[in-house]
Amino acid sequence: TRFFALVPAAGIGERSGAGMPKQYVFIAGQPMLAHTVAALAAVPRITQTLVVLSPADDRFEAALPGCKAWVARAGGASRAETVLGGLAELRSRGATDGDWVLVHDAARCLLRPEWVDALIDACADDAVGGLLAQPVADTLKAGDAQGRVTATVDRRDKWAAQTPQMFRLGLVERALQAMGAAATDEASAVEALGLAPQLVRASMANFKVTWPEDFALAERLLTAASV
Ligand code: CTP
Ligand code: MG
């Protein structure tokens, strides 16, 4: 069995307020995307990593010189379209329906190889596949447009979905094609086919750098991890 990593890195990072695609913002001395690719490269069972860029990307070569990952300028207008473009690229490079694909957000640069190992250990013999996730610790509130609470939501069966999300190429491609651009992750597309992906607990530290204040937190965690 082969395990491919697919890193969607074609977003614009609007919520980050960085004024450039957030995957190229420097954190702890390197662009965020370099940390992400390095974490995946440190997992021996991953055969190869494919980074999927926007066709208009003019930063990658300078930002990640000598990067050993495969690169495809196949990004689309939504994350789902970017992933579908990447899956087609994997096929053109010889991947087939039965190969596992671990889709991992470029913006989750705090990924640790041991979490990827835990995901692969939990899912490699699974009929469906699964994803890293974290049980929700806070009490959950629903709110209206004015910021008033409309309901308290039972958190006991709730998990925050993370990445990697690991499915066989044939299944995840069929699922994303069926759901279209609306899918915000691979698992939701697979769920829409009536299947139940496995939830594999990782860590709160596997958060997605999204808001301006997230860069400083990621910097502190990455700096602490390297000493
Ligand atoms: N992504 C992508 N192609 C898109 C949109 C998103 O490859 N059309 C990628 C991003 O680069 C990111 C991951 O999907 O690594 C998760 O998306 P998100 O955190 O939403 O990143 P952005 O879409 O770039 O940020 P924002 O939504 O704030 O604009
Ligand atoms: Mg986005």
- pLDDT at 227 exceeding the cut of 70: no
- Cα 54 to middle of ligand 1, angstroms: 11
Query: How many helices (H) does the chain have, and how many strands (E)?
Result: 7, 11
pLDDT at 32: 98
Question: Of 105, 163, 209, 213, which is best to mutate to test ligand 1, by the most ligand atoms within 8 angstroms of its C-beta?
Answer: 105
CATH number of 3-225: 3.90.550.10
The finding on whether 82 has its CB within 6 A of some atom of ligand 1 is yes
Question: Of 37, 53, 79, which is best to mutate to test ligand 1, by the most ligand atoms within 8 angstroms of its C-beta?
Answer: 79
Rounded to an integer, the average pLDDT of 92-111 is 98
Coil vs helix vs strand at 37: helix
At residue 109's C-alpha, the angle toward residues 177 and 39, to 5°, is 90
- Report CA-CA distances (Å) from 22 to 42, 159, 186, 215, 224: 23, 25, 21, 9, 21
Span 19-43, pLDDT tens digits: 999 999 999 999 999 999 999 999 9
Rounded to an integer, the average pLDDT of 187-214 is 97
- Cα 184 to middle of ligand 2, angstroms: 9
Of residues 212 and 224, more confidence is placed in 212
Contacting residues for 126 by C-beta, under 8 A, at least 6 apart: 198
Longest dimension (CA), the chain: 52
Report which ligand 1 atom has the smallest distance to the Cα of 208: 19
Sign of the dihedral through C-alpha 111, 114, 118, 119: positive
Rounded to a whole number of angstroms, the CA Rg of the chain reads 17
pLDDT tier at 180, thresholds 50, 70, 90 = confident
Span 63-94, pLDDT tens digits: 999 999 999 999 999 999 999 999 999 999 99
The finding on whether 77 has its CB within 6 A of some atom of ligand 1 is yes
